[in-house]
Structure 1
Amino acid sequence: MNGHAKRNRSIFIVLALAPAIILMTIFMLYPVLSVFQMSLYRWGGYSPDKEFIGFQNFVTLAKDMNFIRAMQNTIVLIVLVTVVTLAFALVFAAILTRVKFKGVGLFRVIFYIPNILSIVVISAIFSAIYDPAQGLLNSVLRLFHPSNWQGVQWLGNEKLVIWSVAIALIWQAIGYYMVMYMSAMASIPEDLYESASLDGATAVRQFFTITIPLTWNTIRTTLTFFVISTINLSFLLVTAMTGGGPNGSTEVFLSYMYKQANTNSAYGYGMAIGVVVFLFSFALSAILQGITKRDVYEF
C-alpha cells in the first residue's frame, strides 16, 4: 500500500469514528468530568455563586449516617437481587431449554413480560399486592389467621420494606436474564448431555458439570449487568414505590443523591455522592470480573 492510499485510509477511519467520538465526548465524557468537578464545590445548583471547598464534601459524606444507610441498602439489594435472580434465571432457563413439554413458548413469553413493563407499572402492581388492607399477600395470609388480624405493613415496616422492594426487583429481572441464559444454553451440543446420561449423571449433576461451565462467560457478563441495573432500577422503584421511606429505610445511592442535589439545594454534595456511586460501580464490576475469571471450556 503506497503513501497516498495509507493517507486516504487514515482519513476514512478518522471520518468514520469522528461522529461516535464527538457524541461520546458530549454526552458521556463531559458529563462525567463535570460531576467530578462539581463535587469539589459548595453550590446550590441554581445560584451563580460557587465556592471551591476541595474534598470537604467527601469528608462530610464519610460522616453522613443517612448516606451510610443508603449505601448499606444498596449493597443489600445488589447482593440479594443478584444471587436470587441469578439462581432462578439459571434454573428456569435450564428447565425451559432441556425439558420438553407443551407450552414452552408460552412460558418464555410469560417470564419475559415483567421486563417490558415500566417501573411505574411494576411499582403500582406491588403496591397493590403489599396493601395491608386489601392486598393479595395479606389476603392470602389472612386465611391462616383470625378474622381480626390486621395484616402486615409490608411497605410501612422499616425491617420488612427493603426486602419487599428486593422481591419486586427480582420479579422484574428474572425473565430478562433467563432469556440470555437460554440463548447460551441452546448452543451446548446435545451429545454432551447424552454421554453424561449414559454415564449415569443425573439432571442436577449435568446442570452443574455441563450447563454452568459452558455458559460461564454469559454468567460473568450478566454479573456486571446485575450491578449496574440494580443500582439504577432500585432508584426508580424506590422513588415510585416508597419515596425512600419509611424514615429513610429504603433510601439507596441514587435516591439520596437526587434528594441532596435537587431537594436540599446541595448540588455539589449530591455530585460527591455521584462520584462515590461511579467509583463503587466501577470497582465492584472489576472485582466481579476478576474473581469469576476462569479457563474457557470449548466443545
Structure 2
Amino acid sequence: MLLLSVLLPPRFTPERVKRDRRYRTLDKYRFIAGFLALPLAFYAVFVISPFLQAIYYSFTDWDGGATADFVGLDNYRKLWNDDRFWDSAKTSVSLLVAAPVITLSLGIFFAYMITAGGRHRRGQAVAGVVGSSFYKVVYFFPQVLSIAIVAVVWMRVFSTRSGLLNGSLGAVGLDGLEKPWLGGDYNLALFATLTVLCWSFVGFYVVLFSAAMGAIPRDLYEAALLDGAGRATTFFKVTLPLIWDTVRTGWIYMGIQALDAFAIVLVMVPDHALKVTPVFLYQRFREGQFGYATAIGVVLLVFSVVFSLIIMRVGNRDRIEY
C-alpha cells in the first residue's frame, strides 16, 4: 500500500480508485433504476394491482355493488364442494395433458421437415422440403385469425346437419362415421375442442421451432451425416437436445392456452355438451357471484403457476452450448 502511494500520483491513490469505482457502480444502478421506473410503474398499476384486487375480492361476497363484506374462506369452501367446478376442472386438465403433447409434437415434426427434413441438394448437406417458406405461411395462417372467428368456422365444420365433416363423410359413403360432434356427447365435444385448439396454435410452434432449429450450426448436421446418422438419429441426438429450452417454454405457453380455451368452448360448444373452468367462471360472473368467480380465477392462477414450475423442474437439463 505504501509502495502504491509512492508510485501513484496523489489523485490515483488506492482509496480514490475504490471510491471512483463505487461511484461508477452507483451511477450504473441509478441509470438502470431510472430507465425501468416508468415500465415497472405501468406493470404494477395494470398487472400487479388487478391480481391483488382479485385475491382480495375472492375473500368477499362482492356482487358487483359498492360494498364487499369479508367472508374469509367461504368462497373456497364453496368451490371445494361444487361438483360443477370439478367437472369443468376435469375437462380443463384433460386439455392441459393432451393439447401440448399433440400441438408440440406436430409443431416439432413440421418444423424439422421444413428446416432439415428435405433431400440433400448440391452444395447443401441439410435442407428443408421443397416449398418450405410457403408451408410456414400456411401453417401460421390460423394465428392471424381471431379465435372467435376460428370457433365460428369450426362450429360450421362440426355441425351435425350441414357441417363439412359429416357432409364429406356422407359423400364418400362413410355415413356410419357421421356423429353429432357438438350435440351433447362429452367425448365427442372434447375431441372437437381439442382438434380446434391444436389446429389454432400448431402454426405458431412451427415458426418458433423452425427459428430454433435454424440457429443450430450446419456443421453439426454435416458431422452427423458423415458418421452415418439417419434422419431419426439426427433429430433425437442433435436437433431435439439443442432446442429443448424452446420446447420447454412452448410447453408452458401451450399448457396455459389449453387451460384457457374460453372463446373456443363458449362460441363453438353448446353449454350442455362441455364446460371448461374459464367458462364456469364466466357464468358465475353473469349470475352476479363476483366474489365466488374471482376465487375461481385465483385457483386458476395458482394452478397455472404450479404447472409452469413443474414443467420447468421436470424439463430441466444441462444446457448445451454450441
Structure-1-length-normalised TM-score: 0.91
Aligned partner of 1:105 among 133, 143, 160: 133
Residues matched between the structures, number = 291
Matched, 1:255 2:274: no
Structure (1 or 2) with the larger CA radius of gyration: 2
How much does 1:188 deviate? Answer: 1.4
Q: 1:282 and 1:237 mapped to 2: Cα distance? A: 23
**What's the counterpart of residue 218 of structure 2?**
190
For structure 2, the 5+ residue unaligned runs are 1-19, 119-127
Stretches of 4+ aligned residues off by more than 6 angstroms? 2-7
Alignment of 1:31-180 (within 5 A): 31-45=50-64, 47-98=65-116, 99=118, 100-142=128-170, 143-145=172-174, 151-156=178-183, 157-180=185-208
Question: Deviations for 1:71-93, whole angstroms, at most 9, x for unmatched residues?
Answer: 11111111111000010000000
RCO greater where, 1 or 2, for CA within 8 Å and sep 6 or more?
Answer: 1
Decide whether aligned partners of structure 1 residues 150 and 176 sit closer, same or farther in structure 2, where only a CA change above 3 A counts. closer
Q: 2:233 and 2:27 mapped to 1: Cα distance? A: 58
Equivalent position SS for 2:50? helix
Of all paired residues, the percent bearing the same amino acid is 30
Question: Deviations for 1:95-117, whole angstroms, at most 9, x for unmatched residues?
Answer: 00011443221111001001111
For structure 1, the 5+ residue unaligned runs are none
Decide whether aligned partners of structure 1 residues 219 and 2 sit closer, same or farther in structure 2, where only a CA change above 3 A counts. closer
Q: Look up the equivalent residue of 1:83 and give its one-letter code.
A: V
Given that 1:133 and 1:150 are in contact with CA atoms closer than 8 Å, whether structure 2 keeps it comes out as no
Q: 1:6 and 1:298 mapped to 2: Cα distance? A: 31
**What's the counterpart of residue 19 of structure 1?**
38
Moved more, 29-38 or 129-138: 129-138
Equivalent position SS for 1:41? coil
Aligned partner of 1:280 among 303, 310, 313: 303
Matched, 1:237 2:264: yes
Q: 1:5 and 1:207 mapped to 2: Cα distance? A: 48
Equivalent position SS for 1:51? coil
Structure-2-length-normalised TM-score: 0.85
